[in-house]
Amino acid sequence: MTAPYPPIDPYEHGMLDTGDGNLIYWETCGNPDGKPALVVHGGPGSGCSAGPRKSFDPERYRIILFDQRGCGRSTPHAADHTTDMTLNTTEHLIADMEQLREHLGVDRWLLFGSSWGSTLSLAYAERYPERVSEIVLAAVTSTRRSEIDWLYRGAGRFFPEAWERFRDGVPEADRGGDLLGAYARLMGDPDPEVRSKAATDWCAWEDAVLSAEPNGKPNPYGGRPPRAMLALVRICSHYFSHGAWLEEGQLIRDAGRLAGIPGVLIHGRLDISGPLDTAWELAHAWPGSELVVIEDSGHKGSAAMSAALYTAFDRFAQR
């Protein structure tokens, strides 16, 4: 399979009540009796989209998508500055995934995550390896503080003018310190103009880092609707300023817990925002995993990366 499957609509959807005031949107597509596959979206805070539905054979897969806390159709929404972000952490998301599995009556499922979705998939799988049948990751990240520092500071060596604008988007007193924490505070400001400007400045930086890639859609961050952009930046700055509440190097350190789970890691050689070394280290630490390097792809992907994903999904559908 080298092309996407035809578009499909969900046959079922709902809102999962987590018990702490959050409602998590979920949907299922494809074959109700097929192999369960959970799509774990990126960001954090990007929300799920219809695109991944077309990556799986609808005759063989039960495709499950959900909006992580605070974004998409889940409530309360992080675009509202009064939303309590202390209830939105990696631990909460892992618990939500496990509660969703139980709610849908899934015994074991394939996990598919890209970018932040790869981090969250790894965190869940290392917590519940017995509940995971296979893992497919693209644009692999583990959200180490070293990776975060590269994306929001180190990559400025390639785009100094854009990084200077990003730095200058926070108050002068914060420019030499914790930029991400400063952005997180701006995104919680009661003034909507302050929040809007901070979100715009953040997304301009993200788009600049992706601008050198030869493939993929332009301005994937700045082109979002205002409400979605506000939620994305508020959640991203919240997570990244806290190192995603993970010990440094935790997910690669504990990759041995994934032994026995087949995995395919698909990563673009030209990915500046998430360089290849993370996927390389993970592949060496995860017994039985396979690393596929896509020469013409960056973080946004390419036709060759999509083809590699379809191949992995089709192969795992046989298991």
Active site residues: 115, 271, 299
Cβ proximity of 71 and 92 under 8 Å: no
Say how far apart CA 77 and CA 158 lie, in whole Å: 34
Angle, helices 116-127/90-104, rounded to nearest 10 degrees = 70
Please give the backbone phi and psi of residue 65, each rounded to the nearest 5 degrees, phi first.
-125, 150
Angle, helices 179-187/145-152, rounded to nearest 10 degrees = 80
Cβ proximity of 69 and 44 under 8 Å: no
Say how far apart CA 72 and CA 52 lie, in whole Å: 15
Say how far apart CA 289 and CA 265 lie, in whole Å: 7
**Which of these, 61, 55, 5, lies nearest to 29 by C-alpha position?**
61
Say how far apart CA 122 and CA 137 lie, in whole Å: 9
Q: What tokens does 167 get?
A: 């730095």
Q: Do β-strands 109-115 and 263-268 pair in parallel, antiparallel, or remain unpaired?
A: unpaired
**List of residues 6+ apart from 186 with CB closer than 8 A:** 169, 170, 194, 195, 197, 198
Q: Do β-strands 23-30 and 12-17 pair in parallel, antiparallel, or remain unpaired?
A: antiparallel
Q: What tokens does 315 get?
A: 């192969």
In what helix (H) or strand (E) does residue 132 lie, and over which residues does it extend? strand 132-140
CA angle centred on 293, ends 291 and 299, rounded to 5°: 110
Say how far apart CA 236 and CA 89 lie, in whole Å: 11
